[in-house]
Amino acid sequence: MITVDALPSTFSFRKEEAALIVIDMQRDFLEPGGFGESLGNDVAQLRRTIAPLAAFMATWRAAGLPVIHTREGHLPDLSDCPPAKLLRGAPSMRIGDPTRNGRILIRGEYGHDIIDELQPIEGEAVVDKPGKGAFYATELAELLEKDGIKSLLVAGVTTEVCVHTTVREANDRGYECLVLADCVGSYFPEFQRVGLEMIAAQGGIFGWVADSTAISLKEQP
CB 130 within 8 A of CB 73: yes
Q: How far is the CB of 184 from ligand C5J (least distance, A)?
A: 10
72 makes contact with ligand C5J (CB under 6 A): yes
186 is a site residue for ligand C5J (CB under 6 A): no
Question: Is there binding between residue 157 and ligand C5J (CB under 6 A)?
Answer: yes
178 binds ligand C5J (CB under 6 A): no
Q: How many whole angstroms separate alpha carbon 209 and alpha carbon 196?
A: 7
Contact between 158 and ligand C5J per CB under 6 A = yes
Q: Which residues does 161 contact at the CB level (< 8 Å), separation at least 6?
A: 132
Known catalytic membership, residue 183? no
Backbone angles phi, psi at 158, to 5 degrees: -95, 155
* 49 counts as binding ligand C5J under rule CB under 6 A: no
Catalytic residue among 28, 113, 128, 129: 129
Report how far Cα 21 is from the mean position of its chain's Cα atoms. Answer: 6
Burial of 70 (0-12, 13-18, 19+ CB in 10 A): buried
| Window contacting ligand C5J (CB under 6 A); options: 90-98, 158-166, 176-184, 190-198 | 158-166
Site for ligand C5J, rule CB under 6 A: 24, 29, 72, 157-158, 161-162
